[in-house]
Structure 1
Amino acid sequence: MSLVEACTIVLGDLLSGIGFDDAPLDRLEIIDDGSALPTSWPITANAVAALAAVGLAASRLDELRNGVTAPVSISTYHAGLSMACSSYLTVDGKSAKFRDPFTGFYEAANGRWAFLHGNFPHLQDGVLKLLGVTTVDDVARAVRTRDPFDLEALGIANGLCIAAVRTRAEWEAEAQYTAIKALPLIEFERLDNGTPRSSASGDQPLSGLHVVDLSRVIAGPMAGRTIAEFGGDVLLVSGPGLPSIESLVIDTGFGKRSATLDLASPKDRATFEALIAESDVFLDAYRPGSLPGRGYDKAMLTRLRPGLVHIDLDAFSRSGPWAARRGYDSLVQATVGMCWDGENPPENLPCQPLDYLTGYLGALAGMVGLIRRMEQSGSWAGRLSLARTAHWMWNTYDHLGPQVDAPSTRPSIDDARSRGYLVPYDTAFGAIEALRSPLQSPDWRWLAPPAPLGSHMPDWI
């Protein structure tokens, strides 16, 4: 089976699964120029499928809104690189890739392993306190005497990011696996009935559409960034004082504006509700229950804006005993059996496919929701999770088998630059280079470079 054939199979299953069976596949070109990722996982097929589906949805919106039937072209090599997007970001000539050395695998008791995530200071400090140590140097010693499942349970109870590293068989024995398996990859729900809504045409598929982006690190912001690529007016709304990682703010900030609002302030709540009242898509990538706990559940949001498309992204899904559990790509990988065979030391995949795939799928959900709003009326909701995306990846692995011709190393920044994949930008952060979008069409582009958090007023343009 060729790589293009494999990608086409995965794409067909994806489109059928979300009810986008009439996607304009005749506009799609998949260019087979090999794989970029050094892994036996067939991640390239998932990446091409997710990105191609996004492109086809954008093309359909362009047709519905502007009368344009835009072609969609994607390279298999470039799609693979997009799963490691932040690894190709430079600021003033230096790699901006960030990962705190605290985060990673630790040998635990009984020949087991634990994964600790501490990329944010409050998470790292919480783990140190839980372990009863005061320095990072003491962490490995403390974990070595502990049962990783006990640590995981304590971590969940304290809102921290600790995972017992599992084999696939161990993950599939968990109640959370059973709950996630029962869910579709993107779970769509019609929230209400109403008249079909359209909007003025523009230069791009989503021109003139307003998107409220409430997200941080990495999947949610990638969904907003992808929508911005097609002309959507995406406003990232952050709370005051929340920790951030600058390289990820840059990497996921293309095309967006960024404002700060405090939802504990009556004045800022009024501003927030005014934004929603003129929005088309609402993206919520905070922990389940966080925004509803502040009074902004789906019913409230659709009362403010009938016809809203609401997208939820989280770590472990809305269902099962871990529905409210915190999680990030690397931690979910460790939990769902993607990193450990039960014998050799565990290691994460050479990219962050759960984040980037879920981000692209989140953008796809938003665009399919907009298509349904135009064609069928009503308000729509789409739900996704990193763990459900992992299940999709496992299904792809089972269907296609391991990739046999993977490269031995991931391309360097110089390699990506020599292939013409890096684009320079002048920004408030400095001179940056970033991986250009893997979806290519003459009129699809980000309209602005990334900006620091809170750089803009909380209003629509």
Structure 2
Amino acid sequence: MTDIAFAWSSLGGDPALVPRVSTVVREGALQGRLPVRELARACVGACALAAAELGARRAGLAEVPRVRVDDGAVATAFVSERHLLVDGRAPVAFAPLSRFWRTADGWVRTHANYPHHRARLLSALGLTEDLADSVGQALAERTSLEAEEAVYAAGGLAVALRTPEEWAAHEQGVAVAGRPLVERQRLDSAHARVLTPVEGAPLLPAAGLRVLDLTRVVAGPVATRTLALLGADVLRVDAPQLPELPDQHADTGFGKRSATLDLVADRSTFEELLAAADVVVTGYRPGALDRFGLSPQALAERRPGMVVAQLSAWGAYGPWGGRRGFDSLVQVATGIAATEGSPRRPGALPAQALDHGTGYLLAAAVLRALTEQSHEGGSRFVGPALARTARWLTDGIEAGGRERENASYDDPGSWLAERDSASGRLRYALPPVSFEGGPADWARPSAPWGTDAPRWARVSRAAR
């Protein structure tokens, strides 16, 4: 099965719609030892087709609009953080302590971009200062697995380098391999969602839908950024004591509003947001938000007909089901880093493809759930995982697509744009999700983190 067809089938899509997708193949885009370009193309293609399908249903079109996936747009978007400029300044992607380190028997990779993760890493190593030499010496005295367990026990993030064979034999690797690319579940028998018609140009499949965005970092914000592109009212809510990295937020905040809210102290405000939401997207480790009544089943019971999307690093199952994780760490655990480099000198994918790819799969799953609800009803749960996307990549992806055009990828300039924002002049990657009559850019640039009020925009509702 070709790449886009497999992704589409994993979302429950009608295989008869796959021929609506055509591709522009560009040599030189997202080059790596693994088929990263094919994975990226498939994830974006499936997302665009899901958007076109929902748009056709809401606009009363006789057929689903055609989708065109251009490797140039996809490759540029998959490294959007590298193309971002804020008043001409390029952001810093990784903090000094987020890197590979030698251990007594191999390698370990840490993630310490956020201050609380950096503090936990240092605590696990018995250090008080974040000096690279001290961290390196402390890790060199431990085996990779000892370092991994010690840092995770302290609430930090460190993962030992594994080969594909070692991950395949690992209990979490076995659990991930037995799961679908995207978890999908109907939670109840709620009435079918009646979506109000959309008209005019551009065609906005998610117009009027309210999406409560409880995600951080890259994959979740990429998904909600895509839903905002398609017309959804997306409100990102963060805890005030956990600020997002400003440049990271500028890259993934397009089309959305950003508010801060203490879910304990401001519970009544949060409940008001939940009561009017159509979609809730969470990106914290599985179970972390359950105490706030945010488990999929609890949300469905409180608001029948809701779509609940839950992103995780390792999957919400298996011995690592409750662990935190990021793209770079999943690459290390699943054998990708050893494949792109070697067990003696690990490498990395040409993009944070697990983050971006899973983000587009998550958006696609939400769109498909909305389409299914409109004629079948039921609250819906969808749940991709970075580790499951990694499994798809390491299994190998067969290239495919209708009306393949061939070109080169020499200059990303065609897929970059500039606009003013409250954060300054932004240069950014344009969205790669494209279908006939659909939007070409976001309606609004990123707002600075936490500067919006925690309330929904006053727009006409999409469902009744």
TM-score, normalised to structure 2, is 0.90
Gaps of 5+ in 1: 1-7, 401-409
Cα deviation, residue 76, structure 1: 1.6
Matches of 1:439 and 1:246, distance apart in 2: 25
Match of 1:269 in 2: 267
Write the distance in 2 (CA, Å) between the matches of 1:427 and 1:241: 24
Conserved? CA contact 2:43–2:361, under 8 Å: yes
SS class of match (1:339): helix
Asked if the contact 2:5–2:15 (Cα under 8 Å) also holds between the matched residues in 1, the reply is no
| Structure 1 match to 2:51 | 58
What secondary structure sits across from 2:26 in the alignment? coil
Instruction: Name the SS of the counterpart of 1:32 in structure 2.
Output: strand
Displacement of 1:155: 1.9
Alpha-carbon separation, structure 2, partners of 1:198 and 1:65: 10
Cα distance, 1:15 vs structure 2 = 1.6
1:205 aligned partner? 205
C-alpha distance in 2, partners of 1:158/1:142? Answer: 15
Residue identity opposite 1:169 in structure 2: E
Q: Is the counterpart of residue 18 in structure 1 residue 11 in structure 2?
A: yes
What do the CA deviations read for 1:395-418 (whole angstroms, capped 9, x no partner)? 225x57xxxxxxxxx96xxx322x
Tell me how far apart the structure 2 counterparts of residues 352 and 299 of structure 1 sit (CA, whole Å): 31
Residues 414-429 of structure 1: pairs in structure 2 closer than 5 A: 415-417=411-413, 420-429=414-423
The aligned counterpart of 2:67 is 72
CA distance in 2, matches of 1:194, 1:244: 36
Structure 1 residue 23 displacement after superposition: 5.8
Residue of structure 1 aligned with 2:79, choices 84, 90, 99: 84
Q: Check whether the contact 1:34–1:77 (CA below 8 A) recurs between aligned residues.
A: no
Take 2:381 and 2:372, find their aligned partners in 1: how far apart are those partners? 11
Cα-Cα RMSD = 1.7
CA contact (8 A) 1:220 1:284 kept: yes
The 1:21–1:199 alpha-carbon spacing in structure 2 relative to 1, beyond 3 Å, is: closer
Instruction: From the superposition, tell whether residues 359 and 392 of structure 1 become closer, same or farther in structure 2 (CA, over 3 Å).
Output: same
1:304 offset after TM fit, Å?
Answer: 2.8
Whether the 8 Å CA contact 1:35–1:77 is kept in 2: the answer is no
State how far apart, in whole Å, the 2-side matches of 1:454 and 1:23 are. Answer: 43
Q: Report the CA distance between 1:238 and its aligned residue.
A: 1.1
Shift of 1:343: 4.2
State whether structure 2 residue 117 is matched by structure 1 residue 119: no
Written as runs of structure 1 = structure 2, the 5 A alignment for 1:169-184 is 169-184=165-180
Counterpart of 1:168 in structure 2: which amino acid?
A: P
Deviations 1:94-147 (A, max 9, x none): 22242112111111103x111111111111122122112333231112211111
SS in 2 for 1:231: coil
The verdict on how the C-alpha distance between 1:89 and 1:440 changes in structure 2, with shifts beyond 3 A counting, is same
* Corresponding letter in the other structure for 1:282: V
**Residue 462 (structure 2) aligns with:** none
1:190 matched to 2:186? The reply is yes
Q: Secondary structure at the match of 1:178?
A: helix
**1:34 shift after superposition:** 2.4
Q: What is the one-letter code of the residue matched to 1:78?
A: A
Distance in 2 between residues matched to 1:116 and 1:16, nearest whole Å: 35
1:142 and 1:308 map into 2 onto residues whose CA distance is: 48
TM-score if structure 1 supplies the norm length? 0.91
Give the Å deviation of 1:287: 1.3
Give the equivalent residue in structure 1 for 2:404. Answer: none
1:422–1:436 CA contact under 8 A, matched in 2: yes
Equivalent of residue 164 in structure 2, options 140, 161, 168 = 168
Q: d(CA) in 2 for partners of 1:17 and 1:295? A: 28
The equivalent residue for 2:25 is 32
Checking the alignment, whether the CA contact within 8 Å between 2:36 and 2:353 is kept in structure 1 is: yes
Query: Residues 311, 23 of structure 1: CA spacing in aligned structure 2 closer, same or farther, 3 A cutoff?
Result: farther
Task: Answer with 207-216 or 296-305: which moved more.
Answer: 296-305
Residue number among 114, 122, 131 corresponding to 1:128 in the alignment? 122
- Structure 1 equivalent of residue 445 of structure 2: 449
Aligned to 1:432: 426
Larger displacement relative to structure 2 (268-277 or 189-198) = 268-277
Paired residues, number: 436
Structure 1 runs (4+) deviating above 6 angstroms are none
Letter in 1 for 2:224: G
* 1:206 CA displacement: 0.9
Gaps of 5+ in 2: 400-408, 458-464
What is the letter of the counterpart of residue 337 of structure 1? G
Corresponding residue for residue 403 of structure 1: none
Residues 1:394 and 2:388 aligned together: no
Quick one: structure 1 residues 108 and 367, their matched pair in 2 at CA, closer, same or farther if it must change by over 3 Å?
same
The question of 1:43 aligning with 2:39 is answered no
